[in-house]
Structure 1
Amino acid sequence: MLARYLPILDWGRSYNKQALSNDLIAAVIVTIMLIPQSLAYALLAGLPPEMGLYASIAPIILYAIFGTSRALAVGPVAVVSLMTAASIGQIAEAGTAGYIIAALTLAGLSGAILLAMGVFRLGFLANFLSHPVIAGFITASGVIIAASQLKHILGVSAGGHNLLELVESLWHHLPETNPYTLVLGVTATAFLFWVRKGLKPALRKMGMSPTLADVAAKAGPVAAVVVTTLVVWLFGLNGQGVAIVGEVPQSLPPLTMPSFDLDLIRALAVPALLISVIGFVESISVAQTLAAKKRQRIDPDQELIGLGAANIGAAFTGGFPVTGGFSRSVVNYDAGAETPAAGAYTAVGLAIAALALTPLIFFLPKATLAATIIVAVLSLVDFSILNKTWGYSKADFIAVAATILLTLAMGVEVGVSAGVLLSIALYLYKTSRPHIAEVGLMQDGSEHFRNIKRYEVLTHPAMVTLRVDGSLYFANARYLEDYILDRVVGCDGIKHVVLMFSAVNEVDMSALESLEAINHRLASMGIALHLSEVKGPVMDRLKRAHFLEELTGKVFLSQYAAMSELGPVVGKAAPNAAE
């Protein structure tokens, strides 16, 4: 029972020297990558750079204790950092103490929400979010994030909560572009793009081992940080208007306290919920993908507890909302991490960096951090989701397109809210119109029944068999009622209607009332209503009501038995591949 809530007691029992060696190597590689990335995401959230390091230390350790993924790396991520800036930017001004307190409080609220969801086993709620819709939101957010960082590349003051505001602000401030900042920013961005795709193959051609080439490629952002920092320091470019990080406190994460002011909590409650949901969906997707590669298991409810603990830890150690990141987790996995201990070792490396290396980044240009963000988030942008959904499902396409457009035009809060609502609306739309097929007996000598519009099947002119492909509940019960009545009205020869319930797993009270209405309406037309292939749990529930007593027809064990008793098959339907 204790291991259920403390997975460290599970994998910790079998921890050995080989796992230690692999985890340490992975930790070194991930630490190198996370130093500039953590600073950059703090900048994206509008917070002091050191808070990015703080948010990557205690949360990783807490997740290692409570999380179930062996490879997930927890910390600041681009989308959550942007949502953090959008949420608290409406409450306090960036750079003020109130802004920092709001960030701490947002992390605490997010942690509490995730923890509560985990304790009450509500991880299934994330299944209601359509993955195409989430992909559309992340794509639009990536575009906004990249656009928001252009001000640092250009060296101008610009702002906005959506793409339109950002573009307009950048356009007005374009004449103020600092040429030194522009050269640094463009060069760093181009270098990082090349590092991502071309450095590793180039090193391999030079004879370097795959492991060293991989480490060198992951260290690319660190090289960009070192070189641009030296350039600014040597040539005194900060005196020429190049914005730099400046003084960063040389310390371990401090003990902090989120605010318990009720007005602030009410203002942050909805953003905290949205951040929790989006962060969990992103994290669980990455965790399950990586776990599947090693045939490991992820417990979604325990993941909620792990992420909740990580965010609460961030709130009390000077951080801001965190979740499992895609890029850092993939690097962690590829580097050979075997257990969550790799994350704990990464936290130690980042703590050393926060304690000893922060004076070295005084002259680090913000343009380099902006370049790091741009290169990272553009890998998340995938407009091909529009083409995929258009070809597969027009309803999914409309939902994805609406999410992307609303996010770009109105900001991330409206976009993510729209994404959640559209996911639920999409589910309700699809389930409110269950597929109903009129079926007949196959002519191959079997007892199988198939759609009369797809196969040449045998039917009876006085009998209509409808296969209901979905559970019946309040949202779709009337649809079934209308479908049946539309089918039989005007067909005087019909004497029997058989509902084939082989795919029906649930019949709620509203659906029961609709079945009763169908029974009465058909009886008034001289048509008997029958059921076939009713599942045990559904039959048990129907027996508790008076429906079976009032049913004008019978309940058959199989559809073949229904057809055999109600009349011989004499008709034939032609195939129609269009449906």
Structure 2
Amino acid sequence: MRLGNKAQYLGTKVDLLKKASGVCRWSRDEEGIVEGKNTRETGTEVQVSGIKDGGDRKGQRWRRRRVARKIKCWCGDDVAAEGWLQMDLIAGLTVGLTVVPQSLAYAEVAGLPVQYGLYASFMGCFIYCFLGTSKDITLGPTAIMSLLVSLYTHKDPTYAVLLAFLSGCIQLAMAVLHLGFLLQFISYPVIKGFTLAASLTIGFSQVKNILGLHDIPRQFFLQVYRTFQEIGETRVGDTLLGLICLILLLVLTWMKGRLPRLFRGIPIWLKLCNLIVWVTATARNALVVIVAGLAAYSFEVMGYQPFILTGKTAQGLPCLQLPPFSEETSNGTIPFIQMVQDIGSGLAVVPLMGLVESIAIAKAFASQNNYRIDPNQELLAIGLTNVAGSFVSSYPVTGSFGRTSVNSQTGVCTPAGGLLTGAIVLLSLAYLTPLFYYIPNAALAAVIICAVAPMFDVSIFKTLWKVKKLDLIPLCVTFLLGLWEVHYGVIAGVIVSGILTLYPIARPPTKVSHQKCLLVQPQGGLSFLSIEYIRNMIYEGALEGLLPCSVVLDCSLVNSIDYTVVVEIEDLLQEFHNKGVSIMFSSIQAPVLQVLLSANLKGFRHFPSLEDAEAASQEEWASYNN
């Protein structure tokens, strides 16, 4: 009875379906299932209306949850729940007030017109917001990168923009090929030596602007000599303004460091005072430049100008155009190949140092704020920023330690704060470039000196002296040669670090003991770098004494060998066989044993333990003497 009722019920449902005006059919597009369409074909209708909409809503919910999880990872649950947008807006505004005067100053370090500093300051804000994995870091012009640009582009904006494009392409290729491990070949002492040399070079290069001097060479030692030689040509107005700006910046920096970390139990009026001091100190670069510009404008109105000014700059936003692949000069056209040859080693130094600087900063702040970054994704973000920036006349950029520190201390929660920073830079380009005319060079020089001063941290010498004195060698080599030419210092430092790293491999610690046989125990892997050293040790110990003795080579700590080692062992076995002396191997690890057995070495004998090898050696030696 129940089965009959159920069959009748199903039949009724089928009749109702057949009476439908059409039958729904599945269709697919590139994104997946699309809403079903009614047709007149025979079949059973399947109700799928709204599946795509439901899938879209599900995807939106998944994306929202993913963003929420990322914000929690960056900021913690308390900030992730509410208030993160407000914190990002405050941080973006604060960094924006910092980046504008700094970018103008760094363009001077690069030897470019000041507007190129702003051209290089906004693209990274927008791209890194979507591709970066650090909430704190800000991409843009930096003192070190500006110095490198000045070295390789000869103060030519066309070369600077092309260098940005080529550096970005190299960085993108490294990201795609997962070549980030190459950065590990630049050791920390080399980075510190480079930073010390760069900060000293950059800082002293601004002394000429503080003193109002002209025609000072770029090279550091010549710069020092000519500065003292021309000291009598000092301009009083520039010197006074530069010193006043330096004092103001140092005082405001000191005041910011003295502010209390917590405000609990503090009266409201004191909180307000602390807030005013914090805002003033954080925006100190912008305030000093504005005040100096107003002073210069006031003197201009009175018909007297005691300062050297920035001068006229190109107004408005940069044009969106392809990077220059040739340059028109009075002597003709410089082709792309010639421009690349002129840049030379900058194609290796600039992208690598940009990546080292940016990733080191990102890792430092990720560790400080308890989140993780993806180094390969960082390579992608930096590379794309440089490539895209070259279309708006940017020179190479990287992560800025100073602005990243400001960003973190302001309480930024996501990279979205960079959107407001980029907008401030664009507004400055659109409406404020006529005012840049009145900015004194001495004020920008003061901003640069205060920005690079914290980078000159000589405590690293004391630290390495206590921890590992040998690391002082690459540090000093990089620092001293870096004062002559920065890229020479980096290259020499990497070479010295490589030598110090390879030397223990070429001369591995080896225990040698003489009993009834010569026992040789290498303490690491054998390679083409070390096998000649081990072979000479065995030969001298076993064959050059009064009486030759058999040899036991304990390989318990040898975890790898190469083909050169196999060839040398074969020659050693043959030589010992000709001398009538045995050589035995013990405790060989499986991968090493497999290589040796595959080579079919004549006279090769191995034992599972050192005791077995020594016993066999003694028996053979006893029978030989009898």
Normalized against structure 2, the TM-score is what? 0.77
Distance 1:238 1:561 in 2: 99
2:288 is aligned, of 199, 224, 233, to: 224
Distance 1:76 1:218 in 2: 19
Matched residue SS, 1:240: coil
1:51 is aligned, of 116, 125, 141, to: 116
Structure-2 residue corresponding to 1:531: 586
Distance 1:70 1:561 in 2: 61
Distance 1:475 1:512 in 2: 13
Structure-1 residue corresponding to 2:534: 480
- The letter of the residue matching 1:138 is T
Deviates more, 1:489-498 or 1:295-304: 489-498
Structure-2 residue corresponding to 1:353: 428
Structure-2 residue corresponding to 1:426: 500
The structure whose Rg is larger is: 2
- The letter of the residue matching 1:553 is H
Is the CA contact 2:552–2:614 (under 8 Å) kept in the aligned structure 1? no
1:91-170 mapped onto 2 (5 Å cutoff): 94=155, 99-170=156-227
Spell out, residue by residue over 1:394-423, the C-alpha distance to the aligned partner (whole angstroms, 9 max, x if none): 543222222211121x22232233233333
Spell out, residue by residue over 1:43-72, the C-alpha distance to the aligned partner (whole angstroms, 9 max, x if none): 110111121112110123223333332322
- The letter of the residue matching 1:433 is R
Distance 1:359 1:468 in 2: 69
In the TM superposition, what is the alpha-carbon distance from 1:109 to its structure 2 partner?
Answer: 1.0
Give unmatched runs, 5+ long, in structure 1.
1-6, 440-458, 568-579
- The letter of the residue matching 2:535 is E
Is the CA contact 2:135–2:413 (under 8 Å) kept in the aligned structure 1? yes
Spell out, residue by residue over 1:445-487, the C-alpha distance to the aligned partner (whole angstroms, 9 max, x if none): xxxxxxxxxxxxxx96545241423x33222222222333344
In the TM superposition, what is the alpha-carbon distance from 1:528 to its structure 2 partner?
Answer: 2.6
Q: 1:219 to 1:461 in 2, by over 3 A?
A: farther
1:80-479 mapped onto 2 (5 Å cutoff): 80-89=145-154, 94=155, 99-201=156-258, 207-208=270-271, 213-236=277-300, 239-260=304-325, 261-408=336-483, 410-438=484-512, 462=517, 464-469=519-524, 471-479=525-533
Normalized against structure 1, the TM-score is what? 0.82
1:552 is aligned, of 605, 611, 615, to: 605
Is the CA contact 2:121–2:425 (under 8 Å) kept in the aligned structure 1? yes
State yes or no: 1:497 paired with 2:552.
yes
Deviates more, 1:397-406 or 1:312-321: 397-406
Is the CA contact 2:310–2:439 (under 8 Å) kept in the aligned structure 1? yes
Distance 2:611 2:68 in 1: 57
Structure-2 residue corresponding to 1:25: 90
- The letter of the residue matching 1:431 is I
Distance 1:281 1:544 in 2: 43
Matched residue SS, 1:530: strand
In the TM superposition, what is the alpha-carbon distance from 1:495 to its structure 2 partner?
Answer: 3.8
Matched residue SS, 2:258: helix
Q: 1:262 to 1:294 in 2, by over 3 A?
A: same
Spell out, residue by residue over 1:492-547, the C-alpha distance to the aligned partner (whole angstroms, 9 max, x if none): 58544233343x4432222232333444455546243313262x444444443224
In the TM superposition, what is the alpha-carbon distance from 1:384 to its structure 2 partner?
Answer: 3.4
Q: 1:480 to 1:249 in 2, by over 3 A?
A: same
In the TM superposition, what is the alpha-carbon distance from 1:23 to its structure 2 partner?
Answer: 2.0
Distance 2:64 2:118 in 1: 24
Number of residue-to-residue matches in the alignment? 528
Structure-2 residue corresponding to 1:453: none
Q: State percent identity of aligned pairs.
A: 32
Structure-2 residue corresponding to 1:508: 562
Deviates more, 1:290-299 or 1:66-75: 290-299
Matched residue SS, 2:438: coil
Structure-2 residue corresponding to 1:450: none
- The letter of the residue matching 1:289 is A
Structure-1 residue corresponding to 2:37: none
Distance 2:96 2:475 in 1: 35
Matched residue SS, 1:207: helix
Distance 1:216 1:521 in 2: 80
Matched residue SS, 1:485: helix
Q: 1:202 to 1:384 in 2, by over 3 A?
A: closer
Q: CA RMSD in A?
A: 3.1
Deviates more, 1:163-172 or 1:63-72: 63-72
In the TM superposition, what is the alpha-carbon distance from 1:562 to its structure 2 partner?
Answer: 6.4
In the TM superposition, what is the alpha-carbon distance from 1:214 to its structure 2 partner?
Answer: 4.0
Matched residue SS, 1:422: helix
Matched residue SS, 1:464: strand
In the TM superposition, what is the alpha-carbon distance from 1:144 to its structure 2 partner?
Answer: 0.8
Distance 1:287 1:563 in 2: 55
Is the CA contact 1:238–1:244 (under 8 Å) kept in the aligned structure 2? no
In the TM superposition, what is the alpha-carbon distance from 1:192 to its structure 2 partner?
Answer: 1.5
In the TM superposition, what is the alpha-carbon distance from 1:347 to its structure 2 partner?
Answer: 1.3
Give unmatched runs, 5+ long, in structure 2.
1-62, 72-79, 326-335, 619-626
Q: 1:126 to 1:552 in 2, by over 3 A?
A: same
Is the CA contact 1:56–1:76 (under 8 Å) kept in the aligned structure 2? yes
